[in-house]
């Protein structure tokens, strides 16, 4: 057995603790003398959106016990989106996979991304897309890209659902989805194509893009500055970039959140942070994308920060549905991150223990947790 269930176990190395503003410098989230973790710095927000009470004020809790069957989440165990690339000729090695802990992973680039690409994860990603559409009132993006963009690139397209929907929205536009895994469907709008590529390599996707879209990518990029620089160089003058990123540290407005040393979801978030750091990932980077956009040369940088409830505790029905989606995604995250946890020496038995604790915490509707989602968009100068 590893030491990962020891309540006095420190999280991360001493150097990581010093350099990471979200990690206590003394003790740990498991210790009895935890140093409080400061909130992430608040970036500037778009006043037109930040004044929207639906997204920026306190989320009102439902005083009665929510009906668990109000929304049906069973639609997310459907059939696989069988994958094949209709847009490019690639070698068969691209389609190779590795299997660990009963899950399937991509092998391209040595499988450096520790998230599965199997049916379960694809369904989870599509569920998160549905959550995002609720959170944004049905908008695929917030950047003011105009009514007639002609070249759109979706970096880290995953199942391709965003690229397909943006292709339907702008049928005259060329849409390209990039990903390390060839899991996208064959049957797509005629203006949409997919390509297996690593955006952290030299840019090989042409110039003159009107819009570059990234969702959930900031945390995965090992060199986000290089990616922002290359995107800047290959956008049209006046083109836009948008990052849609979550930071899962729990927050609460009404005092129902347990203290830091007793909040299981906060402890779990820090554990995920440590595990993914071994793969060059940073779960907190979504809050600081603006600095990379600024350095790359973008202007009109805007950040919209929205609250995402975890669970079905909100009174508002839309927020309750968002919370349900988020809870379901979080419940599955223990299994999704099995490879990352295994890299820490965590056994299957320890993952089961953590999973039970996380599920219990997520089902407690008396605790009104939420976290922040950041929408960063910026423009290349004309």
pTM for this model (two decimals): 0.74
**What pLDDT is attached to residue 276?**
85
Beta partners for residue 159, in sequence order: none
In angstroms, how far is CA 313 from the centroid of its own chain? 22
What are the two backbone dihedrals, phi and then psi, of residue 195, each rounded to the nearest 5 degrees? -145, 135
The more confidently predicted of residues 148 and 204 is 148
| pLDDT (tens digit per residue) in 87-130 | 333 334 444 545 455 544 444 444 444 555 445 656 667 777 88
Distance CA 340, CA 348 (A): 12
Burial zone of 292 (CB within 10 Å; 0-12 exposed, 13-18 middle, 19+ buried): buried
**What pLDDT is attached to residue 62?**
80
Q: Indicate whether 31 pLDDT > 70.
A: no
Confidence of residue 70 (pLDDT cuts 50, 70, 90): low
Tell me the percentage of the chain whose pLDDT exceeds 90: 43
| pLDDT (tens digit per residue) in 300-328 | 999 999 999 999 999 999 999 999 988 88
**Domains of the chain listed by start with CATH number:** 14-379 (3.40.50.150)
Burial zone of 258 (CB within 10 Å; 0-12 exposed, 13-18 middle, 19+ buried): middle
Structure tokens at 304: 């919209």
Could you give the 3-state DSSP secondary structure of residue 285? helix
């Amino acid at each position: 057995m590893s030491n990962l269930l020891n309540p006095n176990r420190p999280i991360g190395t001493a150097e990581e603790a010093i350099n990471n503003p979200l990690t206590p410098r003394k003790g740990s989230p498991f210790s009895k003398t935890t140093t409080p973790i400061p909130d992430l710095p608040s970036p500037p927000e778009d006043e037109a959106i930040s004044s929207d009470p639906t997204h920026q004020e306190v989320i009102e809790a439902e005083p009665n016990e929510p009906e668990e069957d109000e929304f049906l989440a069973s639609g997310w165990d459907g059939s696989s989106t069988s994958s094949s690339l209709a847009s490019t000729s690639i070698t068969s090695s691209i389609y190779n996979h590795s299997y660990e802990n009963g899950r399937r992973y991509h092998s391209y680039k040595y499988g450096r991304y520790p998230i599965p690409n199997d049916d379960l994860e694809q369904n989870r990603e599509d569920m998160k897309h549905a959550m995002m559409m609720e959170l944004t009132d049905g908008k695929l993006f917030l950047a003011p890209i105009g009514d007639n963009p002609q070249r759109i690139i979706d970096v880290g397209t995953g199942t391709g659902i965003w690229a397909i929907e943006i292709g339907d929205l702008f049928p005259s536009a060329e849409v390209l989805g990039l990903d390390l895994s060839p899991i996208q469907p064959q049957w797509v709008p005629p203006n949409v194509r997919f390509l297996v590529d690593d955006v952290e390599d030299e840019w090989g996707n042409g110039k003159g893009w009107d819009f570059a879209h990234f969702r959930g990518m900031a945390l995965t990029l090992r060199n986000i500055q290089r990616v922002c620089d290359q995107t800047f160089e290959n956008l049209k003058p006046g083109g836009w970039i948008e990052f849609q990123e979550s930071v899962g540290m729990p927050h609460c407005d009404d005092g129902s959140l347990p203290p830091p040393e007793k909040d299981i979801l906060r402890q779990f978030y820090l554990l995920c942070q440590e595990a993914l750091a071994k793969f060059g990932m940073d779960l907190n980077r979504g809050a600081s994308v603006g600095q990379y956009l600024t350095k790359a040369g973008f202007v009109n940088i805007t950040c919209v920060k929205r609250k995402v409830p975890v669970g079905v505790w909100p009174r508002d029905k839309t927020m309750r549905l968002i919370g349900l989606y988020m809870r379901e995604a979080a419940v599955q995250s223990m299994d999704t991150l099995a490879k990352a946890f295994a890299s820490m020496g965590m056994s299957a038995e320890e993952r089961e223990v953590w999973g039970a604790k996380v599920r219990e915490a997520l089902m407690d509707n008396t605790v009104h947790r939420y976290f922040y989602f950041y929408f960063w968009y910026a423009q290349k100068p004309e």
